[in-house]
């Protein structure tokens, strides 16, 4: 049995999520104990993180639980069951002589029905002679015979004509945003003309605050910046914001988790539900297992609680 490891988070759920990512298994495969429940404090003063101790669930623990449930079910089935059959009968009461009589329903005789006789079919052949001076067959014009294949529309990439203005104003927007958040941040902006991508890299001492729970804060900053940038730009620009290579590290962690869970599903033949994720992280799970021979993936639920389900390929759920 593995030893317990300590994990921390803003809440108990956050600490459990950190443990599931560290062990690369869903939270249902963990055994954990709550050391401290955590508290929000008053206006941020006296805030404490939640602390749990977690380990992987042993291989025999699930089997012991199943045996216990089966033993309980067997005891219930051993109890004698009393059944009473009631036949439909007609009871007549003679009110003058105070007598009752029971008349059983008469049995109905089954009448055999004769099967209808099937008369043999007589095939009749009718010879038809070709009639001369038939009207010529009209063929559809060649233009309509050609099969039309759907044409894929290629994305036309056009660099904004006011690119310098977009870069400078976007940088000013981010500086004002981080000043309001009171976070000292260094901003590095680069524009990729091949894909019309505005890549923003952030660095500083308090980058954990900008990342947030599962990158939620970083996604919100990216969304707000994208709205502002495309408002001042005369062409669409895709904005990508990252810090300390968080998105690259998160992608590798999710791919590793997807492969481990896929092996478990292929072995146990049971579906596994992952934790709720944003659309970007769900796409990582789907793409990591799209060519897997034994499992398939699908998304269930509604945002922000939409999650990925990994199921065996030859079963339907």
CATH architecture for residues 163-244 = 2-Layer Sandwich (3.30)
Q: Predicted confidence band at 115 (pLDDT cuts at 50, 70, 90)?
A: low
| Domain limits, CATH 3.30.1370.50, in the chain | 247-312
Closest C-alpha to 312, from 300, 299, 296: 296
**What is the spatial distance between Cα 269 and Cα 85, in angstroms, rounded to a whole number?**
44
| Fold entry, domain 5-58 | Defensin A-like (3.30.30)
Please compute the mean of the pLDDT values over residues 240-264 and round it to a whole number: 92
Which residues does 314 contact at the CB level (< 8 Å), separation at least 6? none
CATH number assigned to the domain covering 247-312: 3.30.1370.50
Instruction: Give the pLDDT confidence score for residue 50 in this predicted structure.
Output: 83
- Whether the CB-CB separation of 312 and 295 falls below 8 Å is answered with yes
Please compute the mean of the pLDDT values over residues 83-112 and round it to a whole number: 47
| Domain limits, CATH 3.30.30, in the chain | 5-58
Closest C-alpha to 164, from 234, 69, 238, 256: 234
Instruction: Give the pLDDT confidence score for residue 56 in this predicted structure.
Output: 80
Q: Which segment of 27-31, 114-118, 247-251 scores lowest on mean pLDDT? A: 114-118
Instruction: Give the pLDDT confidence score for residue 41 in this predicted structure.
Output: 58
pLDDT at 22 over 70: yes
The helix (H) or strand (E) run that includes residue 219 is helix 216-232
Average pLDDT, the chain: 75
| Domain limits, CATH 3.30.300.20, in the chain | 163-244
Please compute the mean of the pLDDT values over residues 223-243 and round it to a whole number: 92
Please compute the mean of the pLDDT values over residues 277-298 and round it to a whole number: 92
Q: What is the model's pTM?
A: 0.51
232, β-bridge pairs: none
Instruction: Give the pLDDT confidence score for residue 273 in this predicted structure.
Output: 93
296, β-bridge pairs: 311
Q: Predicted confidence band at 73 (pLDDT cuts at 50, 70, 90)?
A: low
Pairing status of strand 238-243 against strand 197-203: parallel
**Count of beta carbons in the 10 Å neighbourhood of residue 51:** 17
């Amino acid at each position: 049995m593995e030893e317990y490891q300590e994990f921390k988070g803003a809440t108990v759920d956050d600490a459990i999520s950190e443990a599931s990512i560290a062990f690369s298994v869903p939270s249902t495969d963990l055994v954990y104990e709550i050391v401290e429940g955590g508290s929000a404090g008053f206006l941020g003063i006296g805030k404490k993180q939640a602390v749990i101790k977690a380990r992987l669930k042993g291989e025999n623990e699930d089997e012991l639980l199943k045996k216990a449930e089966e033993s309980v079910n067997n005891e219930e089935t051993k109890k004698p069951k009393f059944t009473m059959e009631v036949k439909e009968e007609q009871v007549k009461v003679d009110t003058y002589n105070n007598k009752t009589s029971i008349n059983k329903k008469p049995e109905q005789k089954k009448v055999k029905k004769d099967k209808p006789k099937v008369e043999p079919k007589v095939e009749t052949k009718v010879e038809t002679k070709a009639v001369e001076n038939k009207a010529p067959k009209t063929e559809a014009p060649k233009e309509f015979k050609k099969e039309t294949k759907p044409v894929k529309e290629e994305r036309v990439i056009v660099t904004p004509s006011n690119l310098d203005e977009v870069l400078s104003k976007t940088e000013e927007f981010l500086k004002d945003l981080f000043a309001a958040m009171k976070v000292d941040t260094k901003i590095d902006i680069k524009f990729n003309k091949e894909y019309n991508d505005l890549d923003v890299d952030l660095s500083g001492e308090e980058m954990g605050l900008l990342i947030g729970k599962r990158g939620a804060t970083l996604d919100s900053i990216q969304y707000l910046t994208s709205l502002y940038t495309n408002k001042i730009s005369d062409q669409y620009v895709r904005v990508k914001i990252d810090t300390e290579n968080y998105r690259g590290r998160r992608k590798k962690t999710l791919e590793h988790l997807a492969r481990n869970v896929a092996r478990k599903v292929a072995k146990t033949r049971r579906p596994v539900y992952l934790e709720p994720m944003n659309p970007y992280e769900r796409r990582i799970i789907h793409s990591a297992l799209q060519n897997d021979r034994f499992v398939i993936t699908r998304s269930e639920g509604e945002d922000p609680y939409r999650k990925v389900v990994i199921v065996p390929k030859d079963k339907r759920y």
